Structure 1
Amino acid sequence: MSVLLANTASAEQFESSDPQDKKSTIRVIGRQITEAERRKQANDFVRSTGVANGSDPVARWIEPVCPKVVGIKPEYAAIVESRMREIADLSGIQTDRLDCKANIVVSFTTDAAAVMRNISTKSPSRLAELPPHERSTLVNGNAPVRWWYNVRSQGADGMAVANSDSLLASADATDGRTFNGGIGAESAIGNGTQTVQAYRSTLIGTLEVRALFRANVVIDVKLAEGVPLDAVATYAAMVAFAETSPPTRPMPNSILGLFDQGARVTDPTDWDIALLRTLYSIPHDRAGWKQRRLLVGAIVDASAPAESID
Structure 2
Amino acid sequence: MRRMLLSVGVVALLATGSVASARQSDTLIGDSRRQQGLESEMGRLRMGQTGGARAGVCPLVRGASAEINTYVTARLRQVADQVGAEYAHHDCEPNVVVLFSPNPDELVAEATRAKRFNYRGVAAQDVERFKTSSQPVRWIHGSATPGFKTHDARPYNALVIVDSNKAADIKVSTLADYVSLIALADVRVRPAPAEGSIMNLFDSAADGTPQAMTEADRAYLRAVHSRRY
Normalising by the smaller structure, the TM-score range is 0.5 to 0.7
> What is the CA RMSD across the aligned residues, in angstroms?
3.5
- Tell me the residue number matched to 1:219: 162
Output the amino acid matched with 2:115. S
- Percent identity over the alignment? 25
Measure how far apart 1:222 and its partner are.
Answer: 0.6
Give, in whole Å, the separation in 1 of the partners of 2:64 and 2:117.
Answer: 26
**Structure 2 counterpart of 1:241, from 184, 189, 209:** 184
Alignment length, in residue pairs? Answer: 180
Give, in whole Å, the separation in 2 of the partners of 1:279 and 1:226.
Answer: 30
The 10-residue stretch of structure 1 (116-125 or 266-275) with the greater mean CA deviation from structure 2: 116-125
Output the amino acid matched with 2:157. R
Q: Is the Cα contact below 8 Å between 2:196 and 2:209 reproduced in 1?
A: no
Give, in whole Å, the separation in 1 of the partners of 2:117 and 2:78.
Answer: 32
- Tell me the residue number matched to 1:5: 26
**Structure 1 counterpart of 2:223, from 278, 284, 290:** 278
- Tell me the residue number matched to 1:148: 140
Measure how far apart 1:264 and its partner are.
Answer: 3.1
1:235 match: secondary structure? helix
Larger Rg belongs to:
1
Measure how far apart 1:124 and its partner are.
Answer: 7.8
- Tell me the residue number matched to 2:19: none
Measure how far apart 1:61 and its partner are.
Answer: 4.3
Flag the 1:255–1:226 CA change in 2: closer, same or farther, 3 A.
same
Give, in whole Å, the separation in 2 of the partners of 1:254 and 1:146.
Answer: 17
1:244 match: secondary structure? coil
Residues 189-268 of structure 1 correspond to what in structure 2 (within 5 A)?
190=147, 212-245=155-188, 251-261=194-204, 264-268=209-213
Q: Is the Cα contact below 8 Å between 1:152 and 1:210 reproduced in 2?
A: no
More strand by share: 1
Gaps of 5+ in 1: 8-59, 154-188, 192-205, 284-290, 292-310
- Tell me the residue number matched to 2:104: 112
- Tell me the residue number matched to 1:136: 128
Q: Is the Cα contact below 8 Å between 1:151 and 1:211 reproduced in 2?
A: no
Gaps of 5+ in 2: 1-21, 29-51
**Structure 2 counterpart of 1:86, from 78, 89, 96:** 78
TM-score under structure 1 length normalisation: 0.51
